[in-house]
Structure 1
Amino acid sequence: MPTNLYSTLALGLLVTISATLSGCGGGGGGQKPANTGINIPPVTSNRDNSKPPWDNFADQIQDPSNLTELAAQFETDEYDAMGALTMINASSAYARGATGAGVTVGVIDSGVFEEHIEFAQGSGDKVEYAGSYYSIGNPRSDDAISHGTLVAGIIAANKDGADVSSDFNMHGVAFDASILGYEIPLGSGSGPYDPLEVDQINFSDDNYFANRFNTMADQVDIINLSFGFSGVVTSYTATQVQSAFGLTIDALAQQNKSLGERSIFVFSAGNAWNDTDEQGNTVDANSPELMPGLPYLFPELKDHMLAVAAVDDNGEIAFYSNRCGVAADYCLVAPGGGDGNGNGNVENLERIWGPTKPDPEAEVGGYYYGGAIGTSFAAPVVSGSLALLKQMFPTVGNHELTARLLTTADKTGIYSDSSIYGQGLLDLDAATRPVGALAVVSGNNLDSGLSDISASTISVSGGGLGNSLVSALQGHNMALFDQQGFPFLRDASQLVQQSQPISTASRLQHREQQLNSGVRLQLGKSNSLIDRQGARLQPDYLALQFNASPHTLKNDQNSIDRFMGLNANPGWFFGVYANAFVTPDQTSDDSSFAAPWLSFARNGWSSGGAVDMGLGKLRISMFEGSQFTGSAADDFLNGRNELSSHGSLLEYALWSPAFSLNLQRGFITEDDSLLGATVGQNLGQLKNSGTDFFGLNGHVQLNDNWQGIFAVYLGTTKTGLEESTGLFNLDKSISSNSWSLGLNSSPDWQTDDRLSISLHQPLRVQSGQGSLQLATGRSVDRQVNYETINFDLQPQGREQQLELLYQFKLGNINAATRVEYTYQPYHNPDNANYGLIEFSLFRAFTH
């Protein structure tokens, strides 16, 4: 092997029980040899460091409100002791569940003192070996492995709360990760700076590195290399290096693997700043050393190699560290210790701390820690961070993990200078949160594009579908993807947005007058367009019936009644409403005795007529309108959320003073919805969903003072779903129903008093099934994984509304008291039952 391979340790010191760490005074770097003919281009980066990769932080998905408290629980003395975790915001990653569990990090270094308590795991330890190059002539010793022990500890030292033998304790970045070591002897790198002469590298040297890189890449995804040769990368040409290290470069390139499966090699950038060579010339360390600089010469290595420069405890480039320079595109900085206060001394608090081997004279069973500075210790901070990301995103390609660390690194202030800091300062808070707004995917591959989450939502208005969709999705997670294609799991029930239709009875003042001209006039008036909560109210309505005489049948074959309405339910001109056995103000749902599907066209026009035919009356109507839901603020920003519908209604009415029966048949077409529900464009399109319904209603005169009212409706809906992606499927037809019962006092019950009691089941799906494909994750090659969720559209509950309305007069003032109790609101058995009492006063119509 090459004899001038050195660790990138700048300075070492042990505390508690001291020992000497082998390290170099300079440790890498190099001055460009004279007359090499190498043309070094200006330091530039292809990445845009002028702004973060998201539009602004407001676009980020909000973390739980207690994230700060969760993070603070990790910020213990043990957390602070290592000297790097605070600067990289590691506690935020821990608060999001990242610990490195299940991830093994490769460490090619001098070896690890695995007996240290920081590597204890169960009855053994968390360190295994892929190989060792120590021999009888160059034996493994505790002194020899000090460097590797400290490096491994920075990556994965245990978070154990307290040390058994000292007042000092620390933990690694990925404290639950494991270590796979490959032991190689390392030199100190001390003495004058001596650049590598690549023409002296032979096949054996090249194969030495290639063999170890291949061995490790076959077993782990992340490999830390805190060593290198002296010699700045800009001192060499690609031809020179290819000739000397062809096998090594092939091993690093990993062409036998797909891009996402290639292992990540993390190199320390070197400690050559301010070093001098044998002639006393200052080293030009404006770029990394040869090994970390290889992707500059061989761009195919950029996707899975990182060069790591060091910053001191003040966050500025360390006095010893090589700069990122020509490696700016794949280089970043991490804490490596240094003289942060600028007093010329590296104090204990300015070092990076970790476990080390025991002093030869130490007590048996003691455990020891060392403090040092160098890019040797900045690199494992990055390797440990990659282990956290690997645990959080195990199915994301390794090249995407490296890109994430680079794009989410802090690029503000001094870190915007890519010639020094490359892509910036490692930031685990940004790396473990979504980059940009989370989105949904509709194709089988992430490269097919992402859409706003609204493109995959199902908006349900009212209780027709109840909680059936929400219940089906509860307990399931869906994968949303950020702008880099990283999956974040969220509760799948968030895909269903359930809004409730506007409740009209308590917000509209209903008025009715029978004019001498035979015109029956009904008006609904709202005092405001918006309620106190900002919800839009039902607009005013007008309903006119010409030549109308309730409670009569003229038996005039030439008599034609006409009616029209604006923002009035089309059902008010039919059945018990047309005969005035029920009025809109009688129930909180002002249309509870009408066919429920007609509410989808409530806000619009309706027109029709009636003609006496045989023993009864034939009524027919056409209508067009919409149902709208949502808040007034939504309307102002996005326009009115109207769902248009149109249809027709036919009724044959039989009437007598003792009994009436109205047989109805109708059809309504919803242009872009299904029973008031809409779906996002990724799920398909609802086009012309049609409901064919049948119903009957009427009255029974029980005695002189009381009459019973009844209504029942059954409907079959053709879904009209045009599938575009196959993500959402429904039965071709869905059945639904509603019913109502009422008991009314006759006008002669009490002078000017009226009592009404009603029991109502709103629109409810009776049968129908569907399925939804949920994205649950992704593969390394960016293929999306789906899970099929089958659901029954029939709600688990059944809403029932019991109401009592007592109307009376106080002089010229009409008064009313309403008592209402609702069982299983919106057909959801998990919703709390509730009751209300309402008292109102209003002046009667005069003419």
Structure 2
Amino acid sequence: MKNSPRPAAGPSFHTGALLLASFILLAGCGGGGSGGVGVGEKTCVDTALGCLEKEAYNAAVLDAAEGIRSSPGFDDRWALEEIRLAEAWGHLQTVRGSERPGLGVTVGVLDTGIDLEHRSFVEGVAAGDVTEQFFSGATDETGEDGFSHGTGVASIIAGRENPDFEYQHTGIVPYARLKALAIPLGDAPPPDFAISAISLSGLAQFDESWADLYRRILSPDLDVLNLSFGVFGPIENYQGEVVRGFAQLSGTSFSAPMVTGGLALMKQFFRDQLASEELVTRLFETADKNGRFADRSVYGQGMMDLDAALSPYGEPTVMPGDGVLGTGIPLKESSLRLGTAFGDGPASAFSRQEIATFDTLGAPFWYDLGRLVVAPGPPLLDTQLRDFMEPLPHDRQEEAAEWNGNTALAGMRFDMRRTPAWTGNGHALLPDDAVTFTARRLRGIATTAFTTEGVGENPRPVSGASIAWRPASSPLGLRAGWLNERGSMLSSTGQGAFGNLAADSVFVGFDLSAETGGWRLGGGPEFGMVRPSLDEGIITSLEPLATSAFAFHASRPVAGAGALLLVSLTQPLRVEAGDAVLSIPTGRTRDGGILRRQFTADLAPTGRQIDLSVRWERPLGAGSLRLGTIATRHAGHDEKARPRLSLLAGWRASF
């Protein structure tokens, strides 16, 4: 229903009401669209199974742990259950997929040596993962003596399940490289050797075999070294390997290799980015100190908990500085919420890009950067319904034309809570519910100022102005404008690690109005340029953005009193070009420095939303009855979105 108050030489006021509206959505042409890449405010862990939200990740770890626990190597292994090894392997399997426990880590075992023909090691020996070197007269372990201390210790660290072995057994990190440094346990080096050996010149003072041994101990190719003599630990009755068989053993010697294996697993999981001291500190801090394990006189630092050791300690944060310790930005408070003009652009560009966060102890955990982006997704039905119930485009054009000077009088107009876009569907739709003031001048010129400042509870106000010109009787009109967004950029907002966004936009548009063959034609394109601004965050620079929108309409009378048929082809506001440069943390150095990577992201969306709508309208009572359908391609400017078909019906009245 047309609502064009007669212009006057003074201010006028405009208001209206939607009294009734109803709609029907049909899942035609493949149903609704996709929801974009973003998933609200939830972050997700980058895993071999894809990007998993926290709850899904924890469930995947538990599922993997159940499968691992059913392996014969875990049968009656209460010690493995106590240290939660199955859950720890579940973390590794979920994050790394088929990567095996211990892969890439080298463990040294300073002990009596290993029986290399034992069935727990034959596979590793054949693969070259288990080697042995003898020092100070140590002899080969063959199992003939009925007991091999070194073989038992090594099997706890890296024994592998062997289906040919009646008593299958698994170590903590069965696929670690194992380097056995064999010594006779009764023949220890001099007490001060470890100090003197630090200086290579001091090696000459001692037996050549011992000097060679300490060169091996100090070698950088050893990630973890196990010494199981003179060690105190809480676990007893651990099952070690004896006489190429199986036995129950007690003793503190068999606690140390469990800790060694745990450290090796942590080293693998954290991509070898933690220093040795940090690994030990983490093992202590995450240990179970509840119940009986709280007795420090018996359990010291508590019971090793490898599940906790491989989980974030405290809240993961994005570190803005150069070091892993200090005050960071909580990951859960970081997001980039996109306006519809960006579509799936940033979400697609950021997807599968790893961002490293750090827990309270400085350990790295990796997440999918793309899941911090909240994509707008397809247009909601309430948005389509609102547009459907707006006045006919030609009514709005006529209303604008009158204010653009096609009458002889000048005038002013004041509107409350109204979108300042009288025609088109471009940039001036951004400040919804604005206070607008329009002044009409002679010679076809009208100026409009608008702001959302103080209107409702809008924490990110938008203000701007526009000027429109349409000469009398001209089929072509021009408009240009400027927008200032404080706290947003094309209705997109950042927080946390993304920093705050703001922007100034300029735009120019063309409005065509003509009649041919009984049809009234109208509409035109709009083009804009956006100059972004930002404060500190992982987005280090944003180049100016090019934008576009268009709307074309055709209407004609049809059978029925006052009935009209309207056909529209529109493209909502879309970013056409523009790049962002990001500097994202990807990991850390062993001395606590942050590793960063810069990459450039194309912010233009992958698709282009096109809406084809057909609407029928006729007067009914004090208002107008409307029926229509909207077919949408690439909903939300996402090329992956399925086509949508909506059927809408409503009744509109204005006053």
Question: Smaller-chain TM-score range?
Answer: 0.7 to 0.9
1:397 aligns with 2:265: no
User: For the Cα contact (< 8 Å) 1:144–1:185, is it kept in 2?
Assistant: no
Q: Paired residue for 1:89?
A: 84
CA distance in 2, matches of 1:764, 1:512: 24
Q: Distance in 2 between matches of 1:68 and 1:420?
A: 30
Q: Offset at 1:551?
A: 10
2:648 pairs with 1:648: no
Comparing 644-653 and 203-212, the one that deviates more = 203-212
Q: What corresponds to 1:698 in structure 2?
A: 512
Q: Does 1:598 align with 2:597?
A: no
CA distance in 2, matches of 1:387, 1:750: 82
| Consecutive unaligned residues in structure 1, runs of 5 or more | 1-58, 189-196, 229-267, 270-308, 311-334, 338-351, 359-367, 514-520, 523-544, 578-592, 629-638
Say whether 1:103 aligns with 2:102: no
Question: What is the match of residue 569 of structure 1?
Answer: 419
Read off the aligned partner of 2:65 and give its amino acid letter: A
Tell me by how many angstroms 1:511 deviates.
7.8
Which runs of structure 2 are paired with 1:597-676 in the superposition (5 Å)? Answer: 597-613=427-443, 617-625=444-452, 642-656=459-473, 660-676=475-491
Query: Does 2:115 correspond to 1:113?
Result: yes
Using the TM superposition, give the Cα deviation of residue 838 of structure 1 relative to its aligned residue in structure 2, in angstroms. Answer: 1.6
Deviates more, 1:217-226 or 1:660-669: 217-226
| 8 Å CA contact 1:478, 1:492 repeated in 2 | yes
- 1:781 corresponds in structure 2 to 591
Structure 2 equivalent of residue 68 of structure 1: 62
* Aligned residue number for residue 743 of structure 1: 554
Name 2:229's counterpart in structure 1: 227
Q: 1:552 Cα deviation (Å)?
A: 10
Residues 110 and 181, structure 2, Cα contact 8 Å, conserved in 1: yes
- Give the deviation of 1:814 after TM superposition: 3.8
SS at match of 2:312: coil
| Equivalent AA in structure 1 for residue 576 of structure 2 | Q
| Correspondence for 1:459 | 337
Is residue 262 of structure 2 the alignment partner of residue 385 of structure 1?
yes
Paired letter, 1:477: E
CA distance in 2, matches of 1:115, 1:599: 77
Q: Which amino acid aligns with 1:805?
A: R
Distance 2:490 2:91 in 1: 40
Shift of 1:666: 0.7
SS at match of 2:442: strand
Contact 1:356 1:370 in 2 (8 A): yes
Instruction: Kindly indicate whether residue 566 of structure 2 is the aligned counterpart of residue 734 of structure 1.
Output: no
Opposite residue 700 of structure 1, the aligned amino acid is A
Q: In structure 2, what is the equivalent of residue 354 of structure 1?
A: 240
Aligned partners of 2:404 and 2:469 also within 8 Å: no
Q: Distance in 2 between matches of 1:505 and 1:115?
A: 74
Distance in 2 separating the partners of 1:695 and 1:132: 85
Deviation, 1:465, is 1.7
Deviation at 1:721, TM superposition (A): 3.4
Q: Secondary structure at the match of 1:121?
A: helix
Q: Which runs of 5+ in 2 are unaligned?
A: 1-52, 94-100, 198-202
2:309 counterpart residue number: 431
Q: 1:743 to 1:551 in 2, by over 3 A?
A: farther
Cα separation, 2, equivalents of 1:552 and 1:389: 71
Match of 2:493 among 671, 678, 695: 678
Measured after TM superposition, the shift of residue 407 of structure 1 is: 0.8
3-state SS of the aligned residue for 1:570? Answer: coil
Contact map agreement 2:227 2:256 (CA 8 A) in 1: yes
Kindly provide the CA deviation profile for residues 540-575 of structure 1, in whole angstroms up to 9, marking residues without a partner as x.
xxxxx8xx995996642xx22222222211122xxx
What corresponds to 2:29 in structure 1? none
Are positions 1:717 and 2:596 aligned together? Answer: no
Partner of 1:712: helix, strand, or coil?
Answer: strand
Q: C-alpha deviations, 1:572-614, integer Å up to 9, x for none?
A: 2xxxx5xxxxxxxxxxxxxxx14x222332233111221232x
Distance 1:207 1:411, change over 3 A: farther
CA contact (8 A) 2:413 2:438 kept: yes
**Separation in 2 of the partners of 1:641 and 1:555?**
37
Local SS of the residue matching 1:97: helix
Alignment of 1:506-545 (within 5 A): 506=385
Q: CA deviation at 1:403?
A: 0.9
- Does residue 802 (structure 1) correspond to residue 629 (structure 2)? The answer is no
* Correspondence for 2:170: 171
Letter in 2 for 1:121: G
Q: Distance in 2 between matches of 1:643 and 1:795?
A: 24
Q: Distance in 1 between matches of 2:526 and 2:286?
A: 59
- Inter-CA distance 508–684: structure 2 relative to 1 (3 Å threshold): closer
Task: Give me the whole-angstrom Cα distance separating, in 2, the residues matched to 1:108 and 1:511.
Answer: 81
Q: CA deviation at 1:678?
A: 2.6
Q: Which amino acid aligns with 2:299?
A: Y
Specify the code of the residue in structure 2 equivalent to 1:569: T
Contact 2:572 2:609 in 1 (8 A): yes
Say if 2:236 is the partner of 1:336. Answer: yes
Q: Secondary structure at the match of 1:697?
A: strand
Distance (whole Å) between structure 1 residues aligned to residue 339 and residue 390 of structure 2: 28
Larger relative contact order (Cα-Cα within 8 Å, sequence gap ≥ 6): 2
Distance in 2, Cα, partners of 1:839 & 1:100: 64
Partner of residue 520, structure 2 = 707
> TM-score normalised to the size of structure 2?
0.79
Secondary structure of the corresponding residue to residue 101 of structure 1: coil
Helix, strand or coil for the counterpart of 1:169? coil
Where do 1:180-329 residues align within 5 Å? Answer: 180-186=179-185, 212=213, 215-218=216-219, 219-228=221-230, 268-269=231-232, 309-310=233-234
| 1:839 has 2:649 as partner | yes
Match of 1:77 among 57, 65, 72: 72
Amino acid at match of 2:440: A
Higher alpha-carbon Rg: 1
Structure 2 contact 85–172 (Cα < 8 Å) conserved: yes
Counterparts in 2 of 1:469 and 1:130: CA distance versus 1, 3 Å: farther
Equivalent pair of 2:330/2:496 in contact (CA under 8 Å): no
> Aligned with 2:615: secondary structure?
strand
Offset of 1:504 from its aligned partner? 3.4
CA RMSD in angstroms comes to: 3.5
Q: Secondary structure at the match of 1:489?
A: strand
> C-alpha separation between the residues in 2 aligned to 1:383 and 1:427?
13
CA offset at residue 679 of structure 1? 3.0
TM-score (norm 1): 0.62
Q: Relative to structure 1, is the Cα distance of residues 144 and 187 closer, same or farther in structure 2, using a 3 angstrom cutoff?
A: farther
Q: Report the alpha carbon displacement of residue 133 of structure 1 after superposing the two structures with TM.
A: 2.4
Q: Does 1:411 align with 2:289?
A: yes
Matched-pair contact (CA < 8 Å) for 2:464–2:481 = yes
Whole-Å Cα distance in 1 between the matches of residues 627 and 206 of structure 2? 93
2:67 counterpart letter in structure 1: Q
CA contact (8 A) 1:92 1:429 kept: yes
Q: Check 1:549–1:785 CA distance in 2 against 1; reply closer, same or farther (3 A cut).
A: closer
1:624 maps to amino acid: T
Looking at structure 2, the residues matched to 673 and 450 of structure 1 have their Cα atoms a distance apart, in angstroms, of 23
Superposed displacement of residue 839, structure 1: 2.0
Aligned to 2:573: 763
| Runs (4+) off by over 4 Å | 59-62, 138-141, 201-214, 500-503, 507-513, 548-555, 681-685, 809-813
Q: Tell me whether 1:155 sits opposite 2:162 in the alignment.
A: no
Distance in 1 separating the partners of 2:609 and 2:454? 21
The alignment of Structure 1 onto Structure 2 pairs a total of residues equal to 574
Q: Who is 1:54 aligned against?
A: none
